[in-house]
Amino acid sequence: MANIAGRLTTHVLDTATGRPAADVRIQLFETGGADRLLADRRTGRDGRTEQPLMDGGPLPIGQYELHFHLGDYFRAHGLTSDEPPFLDVVRVAFGIAEPESHYHVPLTATPWSYSTYRGS
């Protein structure tokens, strides 16, 4: 019998320095009613979390949000001194419709801009 599993991953690139963003706090919430925290992780030196945000079985179909704590990261690296920072916690809302797929939601960011997409 085949193992049916999906997974959710992410990574963060600091495009102000051209490097992976290490030690960024990332939280995953299930939304669509009462928000529920599912994961609270930090990126490593390669800008990725050590473990997927979700895996081990089919992904639950639903609405989710990733919270990228960029304000803390850019302050710690001396890239912004603005208080409050222009970007503090970036929230990326997305849906999962295919439980057996790999959803990769990367973020590229500077202290003043960000971009995301569904990667592979």
Q: Does residue 105 register a pLDDT over 80?
A: yes
| Beta pairing partners, 43 | 49
Q: Does residue 119 register a pLDDT over 50?
A: yes
Residue 114 Cα to chain centre, angstroms: 12
Q: Which fold has domain 6-116?
A: Immunoglobulin-like (2.60.40)
Structural domain boundaries in the chain: 6-116
Q: Alpha-carbon distance 92 to 106, whole Å?
A: 10
* Nearest residue to 32 (alpha-carbon basis) of 10, 73, 65, 81: 65
Q: What is the model's pTM?
A: 0.93
What average pLDDT does the chain have? 94
| Beta pairing partners, 37 | 29
